[in-house]
């Protein structure tokens, strides 16, 4: 016990040992938030204030949930299996499996990931003969998800024009389709659970009485629905007769809210404080990660945001090194410098995986990768396809899904002709029409098809039936192996020239099933609180696992490598050395973000997250020109650079002439492409030229057009935006 609380600082200790009341912990980056969260749970249990089953701890990522469970097992001699610790979606899945009847779902309902959802929507539009030019599936998907994330159903949606009215109708159709097919999307997991609990009083009371302590991680990332869900479970929703609710312990950092574009509402933190009458607000401001200069830079930057809850990170580790700022002539020049610098660090003994290259958008990794590859530095890029998202894996899973739930049309269509069995678009159209007419799943409608097509589809149905029979009593990994063989998937990829890796992945899927069984699915634990609830089958659990946890972003070859990722992906991680590249107006902050309200503040928070990833050394760089969409863009340094205390920065552009001897490193002024129009512009005004304008400030000429009195130039003024100016009127001073 005393161990448990040892080495906590006063604020951490205070947070961990708070009385059972609502609390808001404002935990800065690197302030030990996960530690506080887990220690709080361990402390509550070990002091006998509650049993393990009385806690509900919720996070956003599987990684965070696993981490919490692992730390908890290390702290307490208890079996954490069966505890309600997991992601929002994982916990909702669990609840819906246990009460699927009350929730109006089949026992083996399947979960659609984003890709599945998109194809379901495309299929819907096709069936309804909706022009997908007018209603782009992606846009419709966002529309639907954004509404559901607010806790809304089609009937409650606000309709302001015909277009939206139609979108809402399509949304309602989509919901009908999902219900018929027995599938739920991510947002549905939450919304369905929320509705189940609000409608079903006994059930609600049961859970409200059961959970005495609710702990939430990354609270700043909750959306409206998640917050409503928490209020309901905590008995704080105003429903009549709610038992005395749980104590909610919310941990978050408003300065690290970077998912507003996905519906996260930082405002939930303020609302929580107000609505729950939170008396205990504790700030964890001591940072154990970074040196002082890095924190000072982060603090100075984030001060420019309005309406913060307020927080200032500090450390007793000393100021450390200055922040190194580099300006490259081009993106390539920038990449070269970064990679050279990284190589130097590696030579000095810094471990490769303690070096991170962070950037705003994925496209930026290209140049860096190229450079790393050329110089032979091992690296690993995060992002891109994840294990369970690979096509061969999704195909195999689709067969498994059909075994579990034949009504799943998404799965049916995915593999009915994969590997090919002579079922063409024509036959499928007929089949879908038949299914539509009889309002039945494709699987059942197949019997009504006649002729050659009917025979082919019939054979497919028989295959599935046989697979179901053959795998009935097999352990899960063997089921997976069996369907890979019998479906013809293995055969198919054997014959494909690029198939080797896919075959390896399929084998990996068998392994994944085996370790899934070994770890969690071996013996589903009946929940003591609801012993009568049906236990999910291993297959259903595995499929849910596959949808909810898409797996690693890249198969790790285990080699020590430099880490490349977007700033978003870096949240929650830390490295000895961090390079943030592409600090240019329009890129970071991103131009598309300045359009949205408070978009700039979110970009600043993103920058804050990036800076606070660094432990010892931080580099920031930008380039004067950058290839974007195949064109050279002239860039203005990011405004965020100006917001940093200049005395913390070390401008490392010592080389006034580029050390590199080839054409890439020339100054843009010398290298600026000569366009046909360029000669038309008055002397001194050409592409790449820095200019100053009375109203818009400093900028760079990006393009010129016209001649004489019609001459216009396009200028990137950075914060003030991109402008076309007529030279006849606008006073531009060359700098």
Partner DNA sequence: CGTAGCGATGTTTTT
Partner DNA sequence: CATCGCTACG
Between residue 98 and residue 157, which ones bind DNA under the rule CB under 7 A? 113-114
By beta-carbon proximity to DNA, the closer residue of 114 and 444 is 114
Give dist(CA 407, CA 409) in Å, integer.
Answer: 6
Q: Tokens 């690993």: give the residue.
A: 380
- Minimal distance, residue 133 CB to DNA, in Å: 9
Among residues 32, 52, 90, 658, which is the contact residue for DNA, using CB under 7 A? 90
285 binds DNA (CB under 7 A): no
- The footprint of DNA on residues 201-240 (CB under 7 A) is 218, 221
Stretch that binds DNA, among 70-78, 312-320, 362-370, 682-690 (CB under 7 A): 362-370
Angstrom distance (rounded) from CA 485 to CA 488: 6
| By the rule CB under 7 A, 697 interacts with DNA | no
The CB-of-105 to DNA minimum distance in angstroms stands at 17
The residue range among 94-102, 261-269, 322-330, 391-399 that interacts with DNA, by the rule CB under 7 A, is: 261-269
Size of the site for DNA (CB under 7 A): 45
Please identify which residue in 22, 33, 40, 89 interacts with DNA, judged by CB under 7 A.
89
Q: With binding defined as CB under 7 A, does residue 490 bind DNA?
A: no
Give 6: exposed, middle or buried? Use CB within 10 Å, 0-12, 13-18, 19+. exposed
Based on the shown chain and the rule CB under 7 A, indicate whether residue 586 belongs to the binding site for DNA: no
Using CB under 7 A, which of the segments 175-183, 306-314, 545-553, 726-734 binds DNA?
545-553
- Looking at residue 426, the DSSP 8-state letter turns out to be H
Contact between 423 and DNA per CB under 7 A: yes
DSSP 413: H
Tokens, residue 639: 């405004």
CA distance linking residue 116 with residue 257, whole number of Å: 28
**Order of strands, edge to edge, in the sheet holding 722-726?**
722-726, 712-716, 697-705, 690-693, 732-734
Choices 83-91, 273-281, 503-511, 712-720 (CB under 7 A): range interacting with DNA: 83-91
Distance in angstroms between the alpha carbons of the first and the last residue of the chain: 67
Indicate whether 61 belongs to the interface with DNA (CB under 7 A).
yes
Kindly compute the dihedral angle of the four CA atoms of residues 527, 532, 537, 542, in this order, to the nearest 10 degrees.
Answer: -30
**Least distance between DNA and beta carbon 639 (Å):** 15
Is 97 among the residues that bind DNA (CB under 7 A)? no
The nearest distance, CB 520 to DNA, in angstroms, is 14
How far is it, in rounded angstroms, from Cα 578 to Cα 70? 27
Per-residue contact string for residues 617-646; x = within reach of DNA by CB under 7 A: ----------x-xx----------------
Q: Which residues lie closer than 8 Å to 531 by C-beta, 6 or more apart?
A: none
> CA 703, CA 724: separation in Å to the nearest integer?
9
Which of 291, 178, 130 lies closest to 615 in space, CA to CA? 291
In the complex, least distance from residue 548 CB atom to DNA, rounded to whole angstroms: 4
Shortest distance (Å) from residue 657 CB to DNA:
26
Among 57-65, 396-404, 661-669, 691-699, the segment contacting DNA (CB under 7 A): 57-65
Binding segment for DNA among 16-24, 358-366, 535-543, 638-646 (CB under 7 A)? 358-366
Nearer to DNA, 183 or 295 (CB): 183
Q: Which is nearer to DNA, 113 or 254 (CB)?
A: 113
CA atoms within 13 A on the CB side of 72: 27
Q: Which of 39, 87, 208, 471 binds DNA (CB under 7 A)?
A: 87
Helix (H, G, I), strand (E, B) or coil at 730: coil
Structural element, H or E, at residue 576: strand 575-580
Burial state string for 10-37 with b = 16 or more CB within 10 A and e = fewer than 16 = ebbbbbbebeeebbbbbbbbbbbbbbbb
Identify the residue whose tokens are 């097509």.
Answer: 453
Strands 697-705 and 712-716: antiparallel
- Judge whether 220 and 256 are in contact, CB under 8 Å: yes
Binding residues: 27-34
- Does position 261 interact with DNA (CB under 7 A)? The reply is yes
569 contacts DNA (rule: CB under 7 A): yes
Question: How does strand 697-705 pair with strand 690-693?
Answer: antiparallel
Q: 500 near 392, Cβ under 8 Å?
A: no
Binding residues for ATP: 27-34
Q: Does 651 bind DNA (CB under 7 A)?
A: no
Nearer to DNA, 307 or 424 (CB): 424
CA distance 517 to 503: 22
Question: What's the closest the beta carbon of residue 211 comes to DNA, in angstroms?
Answer: 20
Cis peptide before 419 (omega within 30 of 0): yes
Give the CA-trace dihedral at 594, 598, 599, 602, to 10 degrees: 140
Binding DNA by CB under 7 A: which of 38, 505, 593, 689?
Answer: 593
- 51 in Cβ contact with 42 (< 8 Å): no
Cβ count near 75 (within 10 Å) = 17
Ranges of beta strands (E only) in 191-300 are 213-216, 247-252, 280-284
* Closest CB to DNA among residues 264, 580: 264
**Contacts with DNA, 27-56, as mask; x by CB under 7 A:** ------------------------------
**Of the ranges 84-92, 340-348, 468-476, 618-626, which one interacts with DNA (CB under 7 A)?**
84-92
Binding to DNA (CB under 7 A) within 373-412 occurs at 383
Q: Which candidate, 500, 465, 507, 512, places its Cα nearest to that of 484?
A: 507
Q: Which of 62, 286, 440, 554 binds DNA (CB under 7 A)?
A: 62
Instruction: Pick the binder of DNA from 159, 363, 522, 525 (CB under 7 A).
Output: 363
**556 token code pair:** 């790790």
Residues assigned a catalytic role: 33-34, 217-218, 256, 613
- Nearest-Å Rg of the Cα atoms of the chain is 29
Q: Which is nearer to DNA, 235 or 521 (CB)?
A: 521
Among 41, 55, 264, 335, binds DNA (CB under 7 A): 264
Task: Please pick, from the candidates 101, 126, 165, 262, the single residue that binds DNA as defined by CB under 7 A.
Answer: 262
259 binds DNA (CB under 7 A): yes
Angle at CA 277, nearest 5°, toward 276 and 279?
A: 120
Q: Shortest gap between Cβ of 590 and DNA (angstroms)?
A: 5
**What residues line the site for DNA (CB under 7 A)?**
60-63, 87, 89-90, 113-114, 186, 218, 221, 259, 261-262, 264, 360-363, 366, 383, 417, 420-425, 548-550, 565-566, 568-569, 571, 590, 592-593, 596, 599, 627, 629-630
């Amino acid at each position: 016990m005393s161990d448990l609380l040892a080495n906590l600082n006063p604020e951490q200790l205070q947070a961990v040992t708070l009385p059972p009341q609502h609390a808001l912990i404002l935990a800065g980056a690197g302030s030990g938030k996960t530690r506080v969260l887990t220690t709080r749970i361990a402390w509550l249990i070990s002091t006998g204030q509650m049993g393990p089953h009385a806690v509900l701890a919720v996070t956003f990522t599987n990684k965070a949930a696993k981490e919490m469970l692992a730390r908890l097992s290390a702290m307490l001699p208890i079996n954490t299996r069966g505890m309600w610790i997991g992601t929002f979606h994982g916990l909702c899945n669990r609840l819906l499996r246990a009460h699927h009847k009350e929730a109006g779902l089949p026992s083996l309902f399947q979960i659609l990931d984003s890709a599945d959802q998109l194809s379901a929507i495309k299929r819907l539009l096709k069936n309804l003969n909706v022009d997908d030019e007018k209603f782009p599936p992606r846009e419709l998907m966002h529309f639907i998800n954004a509404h559901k994330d607010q806790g809304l159903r089609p009937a409650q949606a606000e309709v302001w024009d015909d277009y939206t009215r139609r979108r809402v109708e399509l949304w309602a159709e989509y919901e009908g389709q999902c219900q018929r097919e027995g599938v739920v999307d991510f947002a549905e997991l939450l919304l369905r659970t929320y509705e189940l609990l609000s409608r079903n009083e006994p059930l609600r009371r049961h859970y409200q009485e059961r959970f005495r302590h609710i702990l939430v991680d990354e609270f700043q990332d909750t959306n409206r629905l998640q917050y409503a869900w928490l209020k309901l479970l905590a008995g704080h929703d105003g429903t009549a007769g709610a038992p005395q609710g749980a104590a909610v312990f919310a941990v978050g950092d408003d300065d690290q809210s970077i998912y507003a574009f996905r519906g996260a509402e930082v405002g939930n933190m303020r609302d929580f404080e107000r609505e729950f009458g939170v008396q205990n607000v504790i700030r964890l401001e001591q940072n154990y990660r970074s040196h002082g200069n890095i924190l000072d830079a982060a603090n100075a930057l984030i001060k420019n945001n309005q309406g913060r809850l307020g927080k200032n990170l500090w450390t007793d580790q000393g100021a450390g090194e200055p922040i190194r700022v580099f300006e490259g002539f081009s993106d390539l020049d920038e990449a070269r410098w970064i990679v050279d610098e990284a190589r130097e660090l590696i030579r000095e003994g810094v471990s490769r995986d303690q070096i991170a290259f962070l950037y705003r958008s994925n496209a930026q990794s290209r140049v860096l990768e190229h450079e790393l590859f050329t110089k032979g530095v091992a690296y690993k890029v995060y992002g891109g396809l994840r294990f369970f998202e690979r096509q061969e894996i999704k195909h195999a899973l689709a067969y498994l899904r059909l075994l579990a739930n034949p009504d799943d049309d998404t799965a049916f269509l995915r593999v009915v002709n994969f590997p090919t069995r002579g079922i063409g678009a024509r036959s499928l159209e007929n089949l879908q029409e038949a299914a539509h007419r009889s309002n039945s799943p494709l699987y059942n409608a197949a019997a009504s098809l006649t002729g050659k097509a009917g025979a082919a589809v019939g054979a497919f149905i028989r295959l599935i039936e046989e697979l179901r029979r053959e795998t009935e009593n097999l352990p899960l990994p063997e089921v997976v192996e069996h369907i890979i063989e019998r479906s013809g998937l293995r055969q198919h990829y054997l014959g494909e020239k690029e198939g080797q890796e896919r075959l390896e992945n399929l084998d990996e899927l068998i392994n994944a099933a085996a370790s899934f069984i070994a770890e969690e699915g071996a013996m589903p634990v009946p929940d003591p609180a609801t012993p009568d609830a049906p236990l999910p089958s291993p297959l259903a659990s595995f499929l849910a696992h596959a949808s909810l946890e898409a797996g690693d972003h890249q198969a790790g070859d285990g080699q020590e490598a430099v880490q490349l990722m977007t700033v978003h992906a870096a949240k929650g991680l830390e490295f000895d050395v961090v390079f943030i590249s592409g600090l240019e107006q329009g890129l970071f902050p991103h131009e598309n973000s300045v359009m949205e309200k408070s978009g700039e503040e979110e970009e600043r928070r993103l920058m804050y997250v990036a800076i606070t990833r660094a432990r010892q050394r931080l580099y920031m760089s930008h380039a004067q020109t950058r290839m974007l969409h195949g064109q050279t863009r002239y860039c203005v340094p990011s405004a965020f650079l100006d917001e940093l205390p200049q005395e913390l920065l070390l401008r490392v552009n010592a080389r006034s002439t580029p050390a590199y001897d080839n054409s890439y490193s020339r100054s843009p002024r010398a290298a600026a492409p000569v366009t046909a129009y360029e000669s038309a512009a008055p002397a001194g005004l050409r592409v790449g030229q820095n200019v100053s304008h009375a109203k818009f400030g400093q900028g760079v000429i990006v393009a010129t057009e016209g001649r004489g009195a019609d001459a216009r130039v396009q200028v990137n003024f950075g914060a003030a935006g991109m402008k076309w100016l007529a030279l006849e009127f606008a006073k531009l001073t060359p700098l």
